[in-house]
Amino acid sequence: MCQPIVAWLALPTGMRPLGLEPRKEDQAMASATLEVLLPAYRSALVARGHRPRGIDRYLDQLRAFTTYLGPDATMEQLTTAAITAYQEDFARRSSPGTVGKGLTVIRSFCRWAIRVGHRTDDPTLTIEWPRRTKPAPRALKKSELRRLFGALSSYSQLSPLHEFMLHRNRRAIFLMLFAGLRISEVAALRWRDVDLEGASLMVRQGKGGKDRYVPIHPILLRELQAAPSHYRSFAVAGGKDGHQLSPKSLAHIFEIWLPKRGLRISAHQLRHTFATELLKHKGDLRHIQELLGHESLETTQGYLAVDIEGLRSVVALLPHEW
């Protein structure tokens, strides 16, 4: 079971060993709902240096699990059987990768509970994580790129708001396509971190909490220089008031704005296109790793799998006649 306190409380009053009564605060914590424990878990994540976006994702995943267990679920209901049942239910509507992330959050919560004395066992120890098959990155085809640039062309007779949205969305898309930024990094980019004169920008607190410099491609530079000076107050791809948009809000470009223009692509495809085009034109793999902000070179090497032109040259070595 999860801890001695729970076992002690489960005994009839007359059968509880004298002199072994848990402290009142421990008894209260043992009977506390999982939802009540979330603020303390959040504080622990903050103390360990997790970034705000990551903390929010962890708590969202954990609340999905506690909702599945029920509003009154306590540490006693957090069992291997309950986690397995949740995993099976979750897998019916989510990818193996998403299910795995949810299990990782539950494991993190259980291990925190052990460290602070809320339980003595880890119910995730015997849980098997789902197998993940990582698909090869898919860059945009030339036809898709032509359609993308067509969708980003200026339109006549736009209202001031739609004119602003067009140019804001162009900046966001070009930052992914010509600088390889993740959508979360585009959302967080501020004008103070863009050096138009030196043609470089700084990505602060990228994935893994690391900063990196990225040179600005001439096409992206022209787009950034075209932004009116009174919009250059805070977020590069923010709202009309200059304030930063969330990655979810920025994702509307790909979920709503581009589909209305007949194009369905993902933000990550732009980043894939950036990497594969650099590889296609003989860019150094370690330089590409730095530009993408990959911690491991192995991650960057995944883009080698889509170097079709390189594979084509090898296939061309086959004789035309036998």
What CATH number is attached to the domain comprising 167?
1.10.443.10
Is residue 154 very low, low, confident or very high in pLDDT (cuts 50, 70, 90)?
Answer: low
* Predicted pLDDT of residue 129: 92
- Encoding tokens for residue 79? 């069992």
162/238 same-domain check: yes
Q: Residues 207, 232, 261, 280: which is the catalytic one?
A: 207
Would 205 be classed as within a structural domain? yes
172/72 same-domain check: no
Mean pLDDT of 295-320: 73
Instruction: Tell me which residue of 172, 206, 156, 180 sits closest to 276, measured CA to CA.
Output: 180
Mean pLDDT of 9-22: 52
Percent of the chain clearing pLDDT 70 (strictly above) = 86
pLDDT tens figures, 171-225:
999 999 999 999 999 999 999 999 999 999 999 987 777 889 999 999 999 999 9
Q: What Rg do the C-alpha atoms of the chain give, in angstroms?
A: 26
173/99 same-domain check: no
Q: Residues 118, 171, 271, 272: which is the catalytic one?
A: 271
81/180 same-domain check: no
pLDDT tens figures, 228-270:
888 888 999 998 888 899 998 999 999 999 999 899 999 999 9
Would 136 be classed as within a structural domain? no
The whole-chain average pLDDT of the chain stands at 85
Instruction: Tell me which residue of 269, 283, 280 sits closest to 136, measured CA to CA.
Output: 269
Would 132 be classed as within a structural domain? no
Active-site residue 68, yes or no? no
Task: Mean pLDDT check: name the lowest of 31-40, 41-50, 165-174.
Answer: 31-40
208/287 same-domain check: yes
Last residue of a domain, one of 97, 115, 133: 115
Active-site residue 232, yes or no? no
Active-site residue 303, yes or no? yes
170/289 same-domain check: yes
158/302 same-domain check: yes
Can you give the residue range of the structural domain that contains 63?
4-115
19/161 same-domain check: no
Q: Residues 41, 58, 231, 303: which is the catalytic one?
A: 303
Is residue 307 very low, low, confident or very high in pLDDT (cuts 50, 70, 90)?
Answer: low
* Predicted pLDDT of residue 3: 46
Would 301 be classed as within a structural domain? yes
Mean pLDDT of 8-25: 51
19/80 same-domain check: yes
157/279 same-domain check: yes
Q: How many domains does the chain have?
A: 2
Active-site residue 182, yes or no? yes
Active-site residue 287, yes or no? no
Instruction: Tell me which residue of 251, 311, 306, 237 sits closest to 275, measured CA to CA.
Output: 306
Active-site residue 320, yes or no? no
89/165 same-domain check: no
Q: Residues 53, 57, 268, 280: which is the catalytic one?
A: 268
Supply the pTM of this predicted model: 0.68
